[in-house]
Amino acid sequence: MLEKYAHVFPAMVTPMNEDGSFNYEVAKKHADWMMDNGIGGIGVLMAAGEYQSMSLEEHMEYVNIMVPYIKQRGASVIVGCSRERVEDACALMNNAYKAGADAAMVLPSFYYNQSQEEIIDHYTYLNDNSDLDIMVYNNPNVTSGITRETMKELYKLPHVKIVKDASMVIDVMTDLFLKQNRQKKKKMFFVAAITYYIRLMQQVLLDGSV
């Protein structure tokens, strides 16, 4: 079942009209262009899609239109569902699940840097209250970084299927526990930076990119 994540997932922009409403015509053309050129997965409402500027209602509206459109073309979809309040992130995940998304990309809570214990609690809540697969996003540039020991604990959560790493700290993500998971194919490992991508490809650890 993890094969659906073995793609490069471009994070698509969110086209808008002058009045701030969504321009679905342009969004669908953009998605079509990517899929027509061989893209097997698309990231919807990630940072490039300005999810942080949207209300919960706007996020849900866009997901309810774009996710089914992309899915009926046969591509996988990962939806950005990060929010400061874990309950809000969970609500977005549940809506994305109903719309047919494959997974949600979720950061730890931001601005107020969480402790490692709080990060585990954050993802445990999402795991226990949504049926959607989770991409854990480790990006210490915008929130608390996730340590090696914490990542080991997150890997135990059944809905955590993917890790996206933007820390640029390779040894945190490429020690024995990650190599073991590569062999067992229980989780997927994505990266977000091109130089990092090349170095991990050389170690045959990388499954995809977002």
User: Which of 51, 97, 161, 164 is an active site residue?
Assistant: 164
Residue 179 catalytic? no
Q: Are 131 and 102 in contact (CB under 8 A)?
A: no
Catalytic residue (choose from 5, 137, 161, 187): 137
Whether 71 is catalytic is no
Task: Return d(Cα 83, Cα 119) in angstroms, integer.
Answer: 13
Tokens 């993890």 label which residue?
2
Q: Say if CB 150 and CB 119 are below 8 A apart.
A: yes
Q: Which residues pair with 104 in a beta bridge?
A: 79, 134
Residues 61, 27: Cα–Cα separation, whole Å: 13
CA 69 to chain centre: 19
Identify whether the C-beta of residue 129 lies closer than 8 Å to the C-beta of residue 155. no
Give the residue numbers marked as catalytic: 137, 164
